[in-house]
Amino acid sequence: MSDADIRGSLSFTRRVKGWLGTGLLGIGAFGALMALGFLLFVIVRNGLAVVDWQFLSSYPSTRSAERAGVLPGIVGTIGVGLASMVVAIPVGIASAVYLNEFATTNSRTISLLRASIANLAGVPSVVFGILGLALFVRALALGNSIMAAGLTLGLLTLPIVIVVSEESLKSVPNSMREAAYGLGATPWQVVRNHVLPYSLPGMLTGSILALSRTMGETAPLILIGAVAYTAFLPSSPLDSFTALPIQAFIWAFDARAEFQALAWGAAFVLIVLVLIGNLAAILLRDRYQRRYRW
């Protein structure tokens, strides 16, 4: 066999492997999209049959499904999400800035800290629920309040925010830092005036997406003691609350079919809130990307 034949055979083999790899990736992506699309279709179809203004503006009820609503769940979910943002985003971004810009790169302690943060990002949410129950509900005596839930979910989201923020900081070219140092800027001036503005779009996008995902967590809220039914709206972060995941969970396991149908409505409203959070992340990213370009 000549050299040309060998090269042609190798080239054909590479093309076949490339086709197979591309095909498998395409099949995997198509299957994931189909599963997600089917799930959204079922939730939207069953949820829209339940959701109306009365459902959105009423309080939960254990007696009449026609009068039951999710207003306290919406307020509680938004309150817990905002409390989580107050905890996770500032602390997560500050931690990422320190690890990436100021910490000693070759330090064994910093390497161990990074590994611990990455491992915490994969810890099941129920573990954070137990931590929140022991620390915030009992030790700090916050009770089953929005503040306790927000702090717990903030800790759950914090490792993800740190990892995402650090990757955003790494995406800023070192040449930008070196140019600023060459002009006499201090390390803090470099971070504040040059690195942070260009990495902020990625930080905010990743943080909001992580918090949107956290809004659907049920296990930590159950462990903290979020109430299933409430006839009032929380007026302060220390008030007890309910949330849409809790209401959907309770209605889904109700023996009455009319209340089981309400679970689809609560799930639909929760997905709408998550999509609004994702849309906010996209708008923030686009706004900052238009302002800061390199």
pLDDT interval class at 22 (50, 70, 90)? confident
SS3 string, the chain, reads CCHHHHHHHHHHHHHHHHHHHHHHHHHHHHHHHHHHHHHHHHHHHHHHCCCCHHHHHCCCCCCCHHHCCCHHHHHHHHHHHHHHHHHHHHHHHHHHHHHHHHCCCCCHHHHHHHHHHHHHCCCCHHHHHHHHHHHHHHHCCCCCEHHHHHHHHHHHHHHHHHHHHHHHHHCCCHHHHHHHHHCCCCHHHHHHHHHHHHHHHHHHHHHHHHHHHHCCCCHHHHHHCCCCCCCCCCCCCCCECCCHHHHHHHHHCCCCHHHHHHHHHHHHHHHHHHHHHHHHHHHHHHHHHHHCCC
Closest to 130 in 3D by CA, of 223, 216, 221? 223
Are the CB atoms for 129 and 224 separated by under 8 Å?
Answer: yes
**pLDDT tens digits, residue range 44-94?**
898 888 888 888 988 888 787 788 889 999 999 999 988 998 889 999 999
Residue 212: predicted pLDDT:
78
Closest CA to 280 of 214, 215, 212: 212
Encode pLDDT of 211-225 as tens digits. Answer: 877 888 888 888 888
The pLDDT score that the predictor gives to residue 236 is: 87
Query: Which residues does 141 contact at the CB level (< 8 Å), separation at least 6?
Result: none
Residue 291 has pLDDT above 70, yes or no: no
Phi, psi of 145 (to 5 degrees): -110, 170
Average pLDDT (247-253) is: 87
Read off the pLDDT of each residue in 166-190 and give the average, rounded to a whole number.
Answer: 87
CB-CB neighbours of 38 under 10 Å: 10
What per-residue string of b and e applies to 69-92 under the rule 16 or more CB within 10 Å gives b? bbbbbbbbbbbbbebbbebbbeeb
pLDDT of residue 200: 84
Query: What is the per-residue pLDDT for 101?
Result: 87
> How far, in Å, CA of 177 to CA of 171, rounded?
12
Count of C-beta atoms within a 10 Å radius of residue 1: 7
pTM: 0.83
Average pLDDT, the chain: 85
Cβ–Cβ under 8 Å, residues 234 and 144: no
In angstroms, how far is the first alpha carbon of the chain from the final one?
A: 53
